[in-house]
Amino acid sequence: MTQGDAKRQFKAGVCGQSGVVAVEAASSRSFGRHTHDQFGIGVVIRGAQDSASGRGEVRATSGNMITVNPNEVHDGRPVAGEARAWRMLYLDPALIAQFSKAMGHSTGVEFIHPVLNHQPAAIAFGRLYTALTKPGQEPWQELVEQELFQILPSLLGHIRSTQMKLLSKELAQAKARIDAHPEVPVSLTELAAEAGLSRFHFLRAFKAATHLPPHAYRLQRQLQMARRLIMTGYTVLQASHLAGFADQSHLTRHFVSNYGLTPGALSHSLRAQHLPAL
């Protein structure tokens, strides 16, 4: 691969969140030993690579998470010379310190796994990467916070057991608030404060009870609300507005992802059922 080829396969940019840089790459290039002044979190999309790390030689294959600590000496070599592809987010130490403190860690934490096979964290990374590099219709800052809280525990390791009880009454209140008005945005900070917990502990308890983080839970309720509105005669545009979506395309994207058909197709089918016979 020529130097020009390698350069064309690297895409980097500053994210919507300050202190974060995203890199997307595909290359058969080997990288010499070097360091970064940020934390790095990524996922290998295809292929594999060997690398030196602060914990010795490691190999990362497709689907594995890869990490690097600030000033950690590392390199990267493709396995068998075959190109590999990966995505990375480089985050300022102050940002990681903020989240680790909220989780009960000291602020001087380090990632303990240079390579980690953890599918839920890798999937959460994909959502995090999208939220940071394509901020727009979604409440992306809430998404960033929730996804980081789901990724970091697997990278930072265990901490002392912390009391994490969430009374059924408090959890029921949080769910009831979302269920009653899914069209109204509510932040993780608000929900956690009402429950008397930290954001991290509330998120873990809520997800344990509902199998979804609060944002994803609210999105499901929004979709159900829009579907009910369409089935009772509202137009797709009206339903998207009343259910709290940014616009009709925002509703359509999530509707197709969850139900397999567009809200327009559902609306058309319902109208056809009520057309008078010719």
Helical axes 214-231 vs 188-195, angle rounded to 10°? 110
Residue 164 clears pLDDT 70, i.e. is over it:
no
62-111 pLDDT, tens digit each: 999 999 999 888 889 999 989 999 999 998 899 999 898 888 887 778 99
At 209 the three-state DSSP class reads helix
Q: Give domain status of residue 278, yes or no.
A: no
- Name which of 134, 151, 145 is nearest 250 in CA terms: 134
Q: Domain for residue 64, yes or no?
A: yes
C-beta neighbour count of 35 within 10 angstroms:
11
**In a shared domain, residues 188 and 222:** no
| Mean pLDDT (the chain, rounded) | 84
Task: Check: CB of residue 114 under 8 Å from CB of residue 67.
Answer: yes
| Residues 142 and 17 reside in one and the same domain | yes
**pLDDT of 7 over the 60 cut:** no
Is pLDDT of 4 > 70?
A: no
- Residue 6 inside a domain? The answer is no
Mean pLDDT of 125-142: 80
Domain of residue 193 covers: 168-215
- b (16+ CB within 10 A) / e for 201-223: bbbbbbbeebeebbbebbbebbb
- If one compares 185 and 273, the residue with the highest pLDDT of the two is 185
- Do both 175 and 209 map to the same domain? yes
**Last-in-domain residue among 117, 136, 156:** 156
> What is the pLDDT, as a whole number, of residue 137?
58
pLDDT of 15: 75
11-15, 175-179, 203-207, 214-218: least confident range:
11-15
Do residues 115 and 59 lie in contact, with contact meaning Cβ atoms separated by under 8 Å?
Answer: yes
Q: Which amino acid, 44?
A: V
CA-CA distance, 190 to 239, in Å (whole number)? 26
Characterize the bridge pairing of strands 39-46 and 115-116: unpaired
Q: How many domains does the chain have?
A: 3
| 3 occurs within a structural domain | no
Tell me, yes or no, whether 203 and 81 share the same domain: no
- Report, as an integer, the average pLDDT of 201-215: 85
Q: Are residues 125 and 97 in the same domain?
A: yes
15 and 152 together in one domain: yes
Segment 187-199 mean pLDDT: 89
Q: Is the pTM of this model over 0.85?
A: no
CATH number at residue 267: 1.10.10.60
The residue ranking higher by pLDDT, 200 or 49, is 49
What are the tens digits of pLDDT across the range 45-61? 999 999 999 889 999 99
Rounded to an integer, the average pLDDT of 153-174 is 69
Q: What is the pLDDT of residue 46?
A: 95
Does the pLDDT at position 277 exceed 50?
no
Q: Are 243 and 229 in contact (CB under 8 A)?
A: yes
Q: What is the pLDDT of residue 5?
A: 43
